Structure 1
Amino acid sequence: MNPETRNDAEPVLPDDDVTEPSPLRGGIRLKLAMDLCRWAGSPQSFRSFFPGVAKAGSAYHNLYTPLQIRQARLKMLGVEEEVWRPLDLMPPIIYCRMAKGGVGKTTIAANIASCMAMQGHRVLMIDADPQASLTSMFGIDWTVEKIRHVGHALRDHEQGYPVVFDESIVRPIYADGMLDLIASDITLANIESWLTTVLNREAVVDRLFRSYVEFWSAYDVIVIDSAPGSSQLSNALMYAARCVLAVVMLDGQSIKAMEVLAHNIHELNRAYPDLHAGVHLVANGFDARQTTCQASLEILRAAYPGMIDPCIIPRYAAFARQVSLYSDAESGPILEREPNSPAAKAIIELTRSLIGFYDVKLAEQIPVIPDTQRSRRKG
């Protein structure tokens, strides 16, 4: 929900540093690049990791790509060649879900995915919401484009057809495979009636993941944005992910919705005792001027001890500006549109926290896989 369009007209914290978006999608300017790499040295020493990038004063103001950030971070760790995840190892899955809409779930999913990619991680996003808000956030107009979504992949797999993960279903968002998206459209809603006919339907997503693990293993992390509420697909995604990232707006209705989600997780664990599904909460929309925000936060902490991320996301106007009023192509996450804003800094801190919680690994923690095995991922 956009804070500026709420019926109760809650105040929106202004941003004190609004900048023009980068001219290159996923392009990272020098100051942000140094921050994402946690580089404490001088700009000149940082530039030494990028001998092919234009010097200061160029038209692009020292723009770096996510792949260049990845390569620089590897060099800082003494790793000179690309490192790949083992072909039989699934990456962590960050599954964003809530039992109601308007909590900022898509905002969090889009921004942490973008931020992880800009930090050098290879990221795959899956839009599992028929409303396709994540798809629109990254400039894809699903009302006019032909979309192959995760529902098509699930149905093909269950019916014994091979799933081909080409650009008709996996869309490149940032260059070099650093951020990809399996988009969605309104027809994804049709999968619900089909899922009722599938045997052991809670495991349908897990079966797809296991059957094509070599494809998924090309990524460091998978970020999934789910539809609000409960559905057959959302339960199947929860079964596959094992841990839900619940985005909770700090108001009474969202707290009640969190109770519904917690009960849903409990029921799934009762049906599958070996699953041990869990939840990690992100408190969103905090405004210190609103007593209900602080009260809601205390209620959450009491009800879900140790499950709330320490990074609380304030209510910022920048989040309302992510989606263009005029064109999907002009939409984009905070780090693309307003990278120096307080909202961007909050997202960076949250992303770093989630990288730790979900154990999202960069190359130095993953065994080196010879290049000859890499060819097995293709096709």
Structure 2
Amino acid sequence: MKNLLVVADLQVFFIIPLCKLQRKRYNNREISSIIGECIVEKIAFRSAVAVELAGVPKMDYYKIRQLTGRDSESVRSARADYTPDDVRTLKRALIDGFAAWQDSDKHVPLVAIRMSKGGVGKSTISTNMAIATAMRGYRVLVIDLDPQASTTELFGVDSESDVRTVVSGVLEGHPLKDCVYSMSNEAVLHLMPADQLVAHFDPKVVAVAHREHLLEKFLERNREYIKANYDIIFLDTAPGSSFLNLNALVACDLVVAPMSMDGMSQKALKLLRTEIMELKDWLGVDRQVLFVANNYNKSQTHSRQNLEAMQLGFGDYLAKAVIPANVSVARQISGGIARPVILSEPNRPASLAIHQLTRQILRTVGMFGVDPDPVDEEADE
């Protein structure tokens, strides 16, 4: 345990490997061991948190241990470390229809996190939202489509390692199962990483017919594997316009558009609107967009004014959650150590807002058995 940092509080605790991102290249056989050292190997929480994440009625921890197959263990404590697999077990046992839904021939929704401007929090939201989804017992795949590889780095994976990326799968013909890496010691969170070679996607496809459907076709070729292993897929896109970003918009079911509370983000919105309109006009593809107010600072006048303008202009297309500016987000990679804020500081306002955003997105794309939002419950009382 000497290489682990335990972050604890009254509600939940997480075990986080203290590993430094290493700057050397590895072959594909070596990369699995490197990733195993560098990611959050175990997400764990108390029994009360497991029940809350599962969205099931409160119960004593003896009942929880029985349902999760731990009743024979000697430890009889509410502080036993429950995992996302345990949350999934509780859902399957106590939520009518959840097991049938998860095992069914269902459509696996794709959520693209997209904004043409950089620095608005796309990768932060992608990474933390994927973890929040996995914590709820859903099986998650994250595909990093950004050559800057910020999401890959936030998961603690060295983007300069010899990993297989979307280029390996879409253009080189590798099956999806050979391009994904487990981000935990349970099969709840997988990553298709990125590196700078992802930037080669556009030059390679410029003369390819129907190039805007390449990602969609790749996912369709791997349909059986996806349905057997995942409940939802998140696509983290790069800033600016590219064929790869267009592929993400064509393939996805929902576009999540983070916006910082500054004028530049408001201007970048025009490009996103143009992209969405072109999808509809040229390809007949109509995508739902959910805007997210990110990096909000209530002490700044311009931040309050921009949020009010978004609320008036977007209405129901604006996410209920407002993610506040927080130094915790800025230090997610500090000293070479990757620590997504939802794990390192789970009770911070930014982490709680990400959980609220996650619940709304999961409901929007039709996920079964999403836990209730405490904010909505308070409003009903």
TM-score relative to the length of structure 2: 0.80
Tell me what 1:139 maps to: 156
Instruction: Give the aligned length.
Output: 335
Of 336, 339, 349, the residue aligned with 1:342 is 349
2:361 is matched with which residue? 354
Confirm or deny: 8 A CA contact 2:139 2:231 kept in the other structure.
Answer: yes
Q: SS at the partner of 1:146?
A: coil
Inter-partner Cα distance in structure 1 for 2:221 and 2:255: 22
1:81 is displaced (CA, Å) by 6.5
Measure how far apart 1:50 and its partner are: 2.8
1:162-311 residue pairs with structure 2 within 5 A?
A: 163-166=174-177, 168-218=178-228, 219-273=230-284, 275-311=285-321
Residue 170 of structure 1, CA deviation: 0.7
- The aligned residue for residue 41 of structure 2 is 25
How much has 1:278 moved relative to structure 2?
A: 2.7
Q: Is the 8 A contact 2:324 2:349 kept in 1?
A: no
How far is 1:235 from its partner? Answer: 0.6
Structure 2 Cα separation of the partners of residues 155 and 187 of structure 1: 12
Paired amino acid for 1:301: Q
Q: Work out the percentage of aligned pairs sharing the same amino acid.
A: 29
CA shift for structure 1 position 62: 1.4
Query: What value does the CA root-mean-square deviation take over the aligned residues?
Result: 2.6
Distance between the aligned counterparts of 2:198 and 2:142, measured in 1? Answer: 16
Q: Is the 8 A contact 1:131 1:186 kept in 2?
A: yes
Classify the secondary structure of the residue corresponding to 1:175: coil
Summarize the Cα distance change of 1:20–1:29 in structure 2 as closer, same or farther, 3 Å threshold. Answer: closer
What CA deviation, in whole Å up to 9, does each residue of 1:6-52 have, x standing for no partner? xxxxxxxxxx9999742563422104323312453444444443342
Helix, strand or coil at the partner of 1:304? helix
Matches within 5 A, 1:95-106: 95-106=112-123
1:117 maps to which residue? 134
Pick the aligned partner of 2:330 from 320, 326, 337. Answer: 320
SS of aligned partner of 1:25: coil
Aligned mate of 1:72, from 63, 87, 90: 90
- 2:82 alignment partner, SS class: coil
Structure 1 residues 45 and 341 mapped into 2: Cα distance closer, same or farther (>3 Å)? farther
What is the rounded CA distance, in whole Å, between the counterparts of 1:185 and 1:252 in structure 2?
A: 30
Structure 1 window deviating more from structure 2 (43-52 vs 131-140): it is 43-52
Whole-angstrom CA distance in 2 between matches of 1:40 and 1:20: 19
Report if aligned partners of 1:93, 1:222 keep a CA contact under 8 Å in 2. yes
Distance 1:171 1:180 in 2: 5
* 2:376 matched residue in structure 1: none
Q: How many Å apart are 1:321 and its aligned residue?
A: 2.5
Correspondence 1:150 to 2:166? yes
TM-fit CA distance, 1:61: 4.4
Query: SS state of the match for residue 177, structure 1?
Result: coil
Structure 1 window deviating more from structure 2 (132-141 vs 42-51): it is: 42-51
Change (3 A) 1:17 1:70: closer
> Contact 1:192/1:233 (CA < 8 Å) preserved in 2?
yes
Which structure is higher in RCO with an 8 Å CA cutoff and minimum separation 6? 1
TM-superposition CA deviations, 1:46-80 (whole Å, max 9, x none): 4443342756588x941122111101121122579
CA distance in structure 2 between the aligned counterparts of 1:19 and 1:123, rounded to whole angstroms: 21
C-alpha distance 303-354 of structure 1, shift in aligned 2 (>3 A):
same
The SS at the match of 2:352 is helix
1:127 alignment counterpart: 144
Q: Which amino acid in 2 is paired with 1:278?
A: Q
1:297 maps to amino acid: L
Q: Cα gap change, 1:312/1:204 in structure 2, threshold over 3 Å: closer, same or farther?
A: same
User: 3-state DSSP class of the match of 1:349?
Assistant: helix
Unaligned runs of 5+ in 2: 1-8, 17-39, 371-381
Which residue matches 1:63? 81
Secondary structure of 2:176's partner? coil
Counterparts of 1:279 and 1:47 in 2: how far apart (Å)?
A: 41
1:291 Cα offset (Å): 1.4
Please list the CA deviations of residues 253-291 of structure 1 after superposition, one character each: whole Å capped at 9, or x if unmatched. Answer: 011111211111111211112x11231111111111111
Asked if the contact 1:280/1:309 (under 8 Å) is kept, the reply is yes
CA spacing shift, 1:337–1:25, aligned 2, 3 Å:
farther
Q: Name the aligned partner's letter for residue 366 of structure 2.
A: D
Alpha-carbon distance in structure 2 between the residues aligned to 1:34 and 1:336? 18
**1:311-353 C-alpha deviation (Å, 9 max, x unpaired):** 1111122212222322xxx313223222233332222111111
Q: 1:108 to 1:282 in 2, by over 3 A?
A: same
Aligned twin of 1:368: none
Q: Tell me the distance in 2 between the aligned counterparts of 1:260 and 1:211.
A: 31
